[in-house]
Amino acid sequence: MDVNSIIEALDTLTVADLRRVKAEVDRIAELHAWGQTAASGLLDNTKPESHPTYRQEYTRCGKPTCKKCSAGAGHGPYWYSYQHSDGRMHKEYLGKNKPAELQQRELAALRSATQLNAAFGKVVDMIGLELE
């Protein structure tokens, strides 16, 4: 569903439904504003298995004299991708920098959430609804 279809559908909702939509848009925008990747696939129309999931992890080197491992969380954080294929989970080390694909997906989701929030604001203004 594209943004224009969503905007047109907003006009048919009740005040209670509009409040629910606004709360969900705000929640998604907040997740992306804080850089959390948990919602990165929420706005995709693809199955979660079709693209990798990314996360940061700390590792331990196992050396008895390592200060990072003994006094802290370990080395890192490092980015890893997880993806199902052939019925198995595959883990791949990606390094210290956030993967470009993840940055693009987060930016696209943030743009969609921002557009939806702006459209919702216009509908609220048109009908004169006070949400606070």
Q: What is the mean pLDDT of each run of 10 residues along the chain (132 residues)?
A: 74 80 75 52 47 89 89 90 86 92 88 85 74 58
**What are the residue boundaries of the structural domains of the chain, listed by start?**
3-127
| Half-sphere exposure for 114 (CA within 13 Å, toward CB) | 8
Helices 3-10 and 100-127 meet at what angle, rounded to 10?
30
Helix, strand, coil percentages, rounded to 5, for the chain: 50, 20, 35
Q: Using CA atoms, how far apart are residues 4 and 8, in angstroms rounded to an integer?
A: 6
Give the pairing type, strands 88-95 and 75-85: antiparallel
Please tell me whether residue 97 adopts helix, strand or coil conformation: coil
